[in-house]
Structure 1
Amino acid sequence: MTAIEKQGAAAKAAALKLMTCGTGAKNRALLAIARALADNKEKIIAANGADMAKARESGMSAALMDRLALNDKRIDGIADSVRQVAALDDPIGQVDKMSTRPNGLIIGRRKVPLGVIAIIYESRPNVTVDAAVLCLKAGNAVILRGGKEAFNSNNALTDIMRAAIKEAGLPEDAVSLVQDTTRGSVDEVMALTGYIDVLIPRGGAGLIRHVVENSKVPVIETGVGNCHIYVESTADLNMGAEIIYNAKCSRPSVCNAAETLLVDRSIAAAFLPMAKKLLDQKNTQLRGCPETIEILGGGVLPATDEDYWTEFGDYILAVKVVSDLDEAIAHVNKYTTHHSEAIVTNDYAASQRFLDEVDAAAVYVNASTRFTDGGEFGLGAEIGISTQKMHARGPMGLEQLTSVKYIIYGSGQVR
């Protein structure tokens, strides 16, 4: 067996124990993880420092460096999110839709773990903990395959969690990290049909496309986020400017950040300078249509069609002036990755049309796309934002990490 196959077999054995260990045991392990993270900040920050040094040497962008960085405050936040997951209701074992058939059979549906989940992700070490604790609370074992950029951070976090899980009396192989960060390990994980039940990729478009197109293991597709903000003709312009600034600049590297601003022609001359004034605070590069350039001047680069397809993950924003709601909706539905889309408007009918006609996992009226997040939606931490329509869509919390089995009570019935 290869090292990854051994990991798969160990995770499968751990998953069988987690299926029946009970809520109390899982919560004790989660609280042990939270304490261990808080107690080992120095170890985590030292490991992260090694990753950050390599990132600087390789010329990684500031936005991606921000995704990678860990500090006291972020580790405290990660530990707090673990405690929040521990406090959530445990979905496992819940039974719904109990009914009695005419023949006397009593049939119900019980929530059960998915089994072994593999997560393939890039450069965000907080995902290591978020994924592990959500899977654990939902009774699943997890195999983590992070990117080489965060390997030292991920290794430290995984070691700390495994020790805490073992101390709490559960199998440490409930959580494991693939040690090989080459492309070959991704392909091997995608082929582990005998051990892995579900594979979830998190990262850039190239990674997600590769996994979706090549995996032999069932995949839940998560979110490349080419997100749009449309400022409609009746919008409060100050509100619109604040929303686009937040959606683009609060953390441009994440998948719920805005990548394209659409502005109604009737307000473009008034709105675009207001928005640019805020966006300039972060030196945001604008790539605009000819009308945008005419209004804002030469500091705006001409937008190409490719720009409207692109998830920049940086302080770059595509801008287009549109004639009306119809053109805005058509543009969004052409270029969307079905993640998060928003309209800013004071017209109720326009807001309802946008909600009805835009095809995305999360559609907003008068709010930033940055709220597409498991914690913000009240789900606790999330394992990703699903942009598909099968099984799960939107932020994936505990409920989305379960399956069902039918349970049937009889009294001797035969067919």
Structure 2
Amino acid sequence: MSLPASEPIPMPEEELPPARRRRLNRMVLPEDGDEQSARLDELGKRAIPGAEFYLSALLAGLVAGLGFWLDSPALVILAALLVPFMGPLMGLAVATVAGSVRFLLRSLGSLMIAAVIFLLTGTLAGWGARLFPPVSLIQAGYQTRFTWPDAALLTVGVVVTLALMNRSPSQRPLVSSVAVAYTVFLPLSAAGFGLTSGVLPGWEMGLVVFLAHLIWGVLCGTLTLVFLGFRPLRFLSYALTGGYALLCLAGGLVYFLSSEGAVRPPPSLPAALPPVLETPTAFTGEQSEQGLTPLAEVPSQTPSPTVTLTPTATHTLVPTRTPTVTLTPAPTPVYARINARGGNGAFIRAEPRYDALIVVSMLNGNVVEVLEDVTVNEGVTWVKVRTADGKEGWIVRELLATATPAPGW
């Protein structure tokens, strides 16, 4: 006598009806026979990119590189608008909740192909910038650093996109997807631009920002799906979610420690430069009248006393006059370190304005000599500085930290 089975025995795939086999082949995620699996499968299908995704990524990457070259915010925003629907990132969140390794790798592969396209188009624009150097690099420099407003924009974009996808089975929210594309792909394009142009210090931070935004976006997408009622189906779902959270926590700790720590100068320079005093030099009266060079210069930490030539006694009734020359000590040179908070360095420009030509770019910690020239342009205070190799230019005063005392600093 046969006992009733406690659960239905699945049929081999080759014994299934043809319609059932075709349905299984069209499914993105494995079938578990419940409503949640069917809803996740629908979300996964809409997250699969087509050929237009990669073509649009190529066009958007070229526009982004041109925007960094010309330092045009309009072109940078246009590049984000040209990026197609960010389905691969949403697919990573769906695959995490479903615990599907196959769909996870498929979505990650699609996203990495688009990322390489943006990186290569950025390097192409960087080569062009070598022939015609850009006037300024405000847009590219902004994309290569992590900011909390960008993280908030990414969070809102991912949450709204998945919420709209869950609400309407046939909808691909393009507006909210623009926020995701702006924060994920543009840092890669800026990194490629800085790699080949040679004028963007700290370009490698663009790669770090891309990875940070990618992991944070997938974590936000996973938590959004859980909030919408999709429970994790497998142990792998919990493991992946915990891994995303640990990576985000570790990255946040590194960011806070690096940003709150003191900026140190390079090993070849002292932590603080001692005051340097130029020693006045004595002149004879005859040499002073003829405009000759000083007799000797003796370095000292304190000003030397002024030498006064005593009149020599003669047999005449009127003594010979010997003039006395009194020298005023030169002002103490002021040195300062490059200290651009929220960035890796700063530009020294030929004129005291943001659109002036770039003389040189210097990383944080490098020491420059602060000259006497100070001017205010459009509410921004600019000071003239001289680098160690003798180059002079203008820099925003807030980007400097003095290493020697200076009045008003």
Higher RCO, Cα 8 Å, sep 6+: 1
Superposition TM-score, scaled by structure 2 size: 0.22
Q: Which has the higher strand share?
A: 1
Superposition TM-score, scaled by structure 1 size: 0.22
Report which of the two structures shows the higher radius of gyration computed on alpha carbons.
Answer: 2
